Amino acid sequence: MMDGVSLNTDPVVDDDADADEFEIEGDCGMAKCISQSGVIQGENPLPPVVGMEFDSYEDVYYFYNCYAKEQGFGVRVSNTWYRKTKERYRGKLSCSSAGFKKKSEANRPRPETRTGCPAMIKFRLMENKRWRIIEVELDHNHLISAVSGKFYKSHKQLGIGTKRALHLDSAEEVQKVRLFRTVVIDVEGNGSVEVSSGEFRSSHNQTSQLRLKDGDAQAIHNYFSHLQLIDPNFFYVVDLNEKGCLRNLFWSNTRSRVAYGYFGDVVAVDTICLTDKYQVPLVSFIGVNHHGQSVLLGCGLLAGDTIEACTWLFRAWLTCMLGRPPQVIITDQCRTLQAAVADVFPRAFHCLCLPRIMQKVPEKLGGLYEYESIRMALNNAVYYSLRPEEFEATWEDMIHHYRLRNHVWLQMLYEDRRQWVPVYLKEIFLAGMLLTRPNEVVESFFDGYLDKHTSLKEFLDKYDQALQANHQLEVLADMESRNSGFMLQSRCYFELQLAKLYTNNILRKFEREVEGMYSCFCTRQINGEGEVITYMVREQIEVDGNRRECRDFEVLYNATEMEVLCVCGLFNFKGYLCRHALSVLHQNGIEEIPPQYVVSRWRKDIKRSYVLNHSNGGIDINNPVHRYDHLYKCIMQVVEEGRKSEVRYKDTVQALDQILRKLNLVEGRL
């Protein structure tokens, strides 16, 4: 059942070419960018895209009208849908050449200006009371020119009702940065004030727009324009505030989008730039590839660390990844992030970054009496507890002995314990992304390219370097794993088996567990009832960096199902079996790791192509733009395959030459 009707649907045939020109009466956000002559000043370097959100219907019109003026076409309202309460909930803005005029019987009819142009945007009111663009068509069926933009009615005076004075208390209140460059005019005749893109306008809400410096906005425009030229599947979403100023931004290239399909099971959200107040308010989505190396899955810029901003960013990223949420998402401990994750990823398991929590210990507890003893007690509870009840008892002893019952930060940690303490996470596959050993430090993907004082312009200049360096590391690791044999430290059957399957980087980590089998000096069966046999494996481990003690690790073994489960939980933490489980398998005469413990994400024999898979479904072969776009995407897949070896390169060049010769022959016959 429809929830409303369109009260001013634009017919295909219209008696008056100008009847649907939209004029806004009264006070609205457009007035601030109207000059004394009534002409909109400014330009919008970014076209409308699906997902953009605005605070009002008028803001959508204003944004599209500025874009139209820059491109050189007029705008009119084709449709506005209203509910029975007279509330607008949907709209459609079109090029002024949309539709056709009804044939006139006048002696001197006006010349035809309509061409049935398809260019338009559709938008609707969402549950959060913001207007979201839901459909975009940018192509016109007629010539457009920016020179002619000023002649269209939609770019002329909007009506005297829109004019009002801007009450500017200080120079700071005048200065603001918009997504598009503009001039702010006091329409009462106080003159114009040129916008300085190097300063941020003071505001009651400091999170309403990004703090951009001189050259930052142009750097964003230039970089995105460059990416769109070289990467047809480059994805970005822009969030504007009620005045059209850039508030939040998200982007992702093709490689990141494809990588998510391979390595999107566990994703970390790096917000260190927000928490540490970097000049660049960057948020990064990070995964790990088949070598255990970090891989970028998308980036965003946020004006502030509010729930609304984080929710918007997560939804933009999820849309980019075709609505497929990760199984696990890792963030810093932050109530804002926790609320946003619960909203956008309700089915994902939300982990809190253990190293970041432990890095706060000196700051949060450093002033306490007996701090060093408290720190050691906390480390012991977090890192060396093997069962939840053991952690609970150790934690309670610490709280009671050092009288920490009312410590707010420790109370909050305890409330969230199931999201960050390793003993509670053993049933969650984490692919090595959650560091669970003392003194481990999380490294940022952009380490060496971004620090607190790096400007946004500088960061965008270095952004490609960071991606290329990361890509090169993966390519080199691929070549090493394929072409050079791994130097085995032992002749263990398990190591020989995985050497044929896993990448070298993962093998090096697994090798430590094989070597560790020899430190497990006692493996005994303690229970043999039913199919599941319980073993106790004793190992001498290092505690607090300078002390060693013997620990018993319980391992469950099911010979029928070939299942092995150790209380240490290493398999889910790292993605390969621990020394305790290997010892039990070895003792039972098992020479190969059971197939369910051979993880495909570490394999080197799986072909991974970083090109989006496209079919020709929905391609209009009569449309030259569609033909170009589809052929470009197809040829990029050929390039990706052809670059992998010298032989493939030569075959690719030869095949392309043959295609060109064939096309030239066909053209000669026409």
257 with 320: CB under 8 angstroms?
A: yes
d(CA 495, CA 586): 12
Q: Which of 51-60, 323-332, 364-373 has the lowest mean pLDDT?
A: 51-60
Residue 565 identity: L
> Strand 183-186 vs strand 532-543: parallel, antiparallel, or unpaired?
unpaired
> Taking 70 as the threshold, does the pLDDT of residue 267 lie above it?
yes
Q: What is the mean pLDDT of residues 354-380?
A: 93
606/270: higher pLDDT: 270
Q: Assess whether pLDDT exceeds 50 at residue 169.
A: no
The three-class DSSP label of residue 296 is strand
Average pLDDT over residues 537-562: 85
pLDDT tens profile 386-423? 999 999 999 999 999 999 999 999 999 999 999 999 99
Rounded CA separation 401/302 (Å): 43
pTM summary value: 0.65
* Per-residue model confidence as pLDDT tens digits over 196-233: 222 223 333 455 788 888 888 888 988 988 888 888 78
- Report residue 637 as tokens: 């897949």
C-alpha angle with apex 448: 445 to 452, nearest 5 degrees? Answer: 90
Reported as type and span, the H/E element at residue 543 is strand 532-543
The pLDDT score that the predictor gives to residue 185 is 21
In the numeric block, the tokens 């099911």 are attached to 558
Considering only CA atoms, which of 423, 415, 281 is closest in space to residue 335? 415
Mean pLDDT, rounded, for 456-471: 92
Give the pLDDT confidence score for residue 176 in this predicted structure: 27
pLDDT at 112: 64
Q: Tell me: domain 52-100+114-145, CATH 2.102.10, correct?
A: no
Q: Which of 237, 419, 407 lies closest to 328, judged by CA?
A: 419
Contact 237, 319 (CB under 8 A): yes
Of the pLDDT bands very low, low, confident and very high (cuts 50, 70, 90), residue 292 is: very high
Contacts (Cβ under 8 Å, ≥6 apart) of 4: 81, 82, 83, 84, 89, 90
C-alpha dist (Å) from residue 38 to 30, 69, 162, 275, 623: 11, 14, 9, 43, 39
Q: Coil, helix or strand for 368?
A: coil
Distances (CA, A) of 254 to 196, 260, 355, 449, 509: 34, 10, 31, 21, 30
Q: Residue 146: its pLDDT value, please?
A: 64
Distances (CA, A) of 293 to 435, 500, 576, 623: 14, 20, 16, 42
Per-residue model confidence as pLDDT tens digits over 580-636: 999 999 999 999 999 999 999 999 988 887 766 544 444 556 656 557 667 776 787
> Cα–Cα distances in Å, from 198 out to 177, 180, 195, 218, 456?
8, 14, 9, 11, 12
Share above pLDDT 70 across residues of the chain, in percent, rounded to a whole number: 78
pLDDT exceeds cutoff 50 at 512:
yes
pLDDT greater than 60 at residue 37: no
- pLDDT for 557 beyond 60: yes
- Over residues 464-472, the mean pLDDT reads 92
38: confidence class by pLDDT, cuts 50, 70, 90: very low
CA distances from 659 to 273, 640, 664 (A): 49, 18, 9
240 three-state secondary structure: strand
pLDDT grade, residue 172 (50/70/90)? very low
Residues in CB range of 314: below 8 A, 6 or more apart: 340, 341, 343, 344, 345
